[in-house]
Amino acid sequence: MNFSPILISIKTASAAIVVTFFLGLFAAKWVAGIRRRFLKMILDGILTLPLVLPPTVAGFFLLYIFGARRPVGQFFLDYFSIRIAFSWGATVLAAVAISFPLMYRSARGALEQVDENLIYAARTLGLSEWSIFWRICLPTALPGIASGGVLAFARGLGEFGATAMIAGNIAGKTRTLPLAIYSAVASGDMESAYTHVLIIVLISFVVVALMNYFTVLEGKAFTGRGRGSRRSR
């Protein structure tokens, strides 16, 4: 059995979730803090767009931007000797682009459920907005944010269309588990396909279990706060 697709997928998803987690979290904080409804709607639509676009279309845009003969891709190639398209970095780029909306929407939903009374009380005590975010909003919304991170990790692990467009299907370099399954079926190697499918299914099951766990934690957290506020009255 060839383990390279498994290793490449795990490396790709792990690198992608580090980028996606912080990008999605700070994008969620930024959009949640906007008061203009129209501007908020436009930005939310732009940031969520990769979630509803076909992955191949998202991959096309990535290839158009980061291709070797495109401005951004040419810049990296000329000044840093880094070729983005059809490299392992391209698999990470594709995973980030596709999984970002899931992280963003989960984080935004969790942050918007934080009790505003806590934020107002912190402001009256003289805390800065960043202190409020790190010490109050983030700990309170952490279960929902963690659930979004787990979902984004799984989405990055299972990315196929955008990866095929910008990274290709290069054995030992950019061939992730989904691409390995496709290649195995196309070549008639059903045994390898069955093995890779089983691995994907097991990982997906673990992801669902973790999502349910964090959802339960989030529900308990908000229920506990609701009871506390009623008692205070």
Closest CA to 104 of 36, 44, 14: 44
Task: Tell me: pLDDT of 129 over 90.
Answer: no
In a domain, 182, yes or no: yes
In a domain, 76, yes or no: yes
Task: Tell me the longest C-alpha to C-alpha distance in the chain.
Answer: 68
| Separation in Å, CA 192 to CA 10, 30, 123, 159 | 18, 45, 58, 19
In a domain, 215, yes or no: yes
Q: Residue 219: what pLDDT?
A: 65
* Cβ count within 10 A of residue 128: 11
Closest CA to 158 of 35, 2, 6: 6
Task: Tell me: pLDDT of 30 over 60.
Answer: yes
Please state the domain count of the chain. 1
Residue 119 φ/ψ, nearest 5 degrees: -70, -45
CA distance 73 to 97: 16
Q: Residue 212: what pLDDT?
A: 81
In a domain, 229, yes or no: no
Give the structural domain span for 171: 4-220
Task: Tell me: pLDDT of 166 over 90.
Answer: yes
In a domain, 227, yes or no: no
Q: Residue 168: what pLDDT?
A: 92
Tokens of 228: 């506390």
CA distance 21 to 52: 20
Q: Residue 128: what pLDDT?
A: 86
CA distance 124 to 36: 24
Domain of residue 154, CATH code: 1.10.3720.10
In a domain, 226, yes or no: no
In a domain, 14, yes or no: yes
Task: Tell me: pLDDT of 1 over 80.
Answer: no
In a domain, 225, yes or no: no
Q: Residue 223: what pLDDT?
A: 59
CA distance 181 to 61: 25
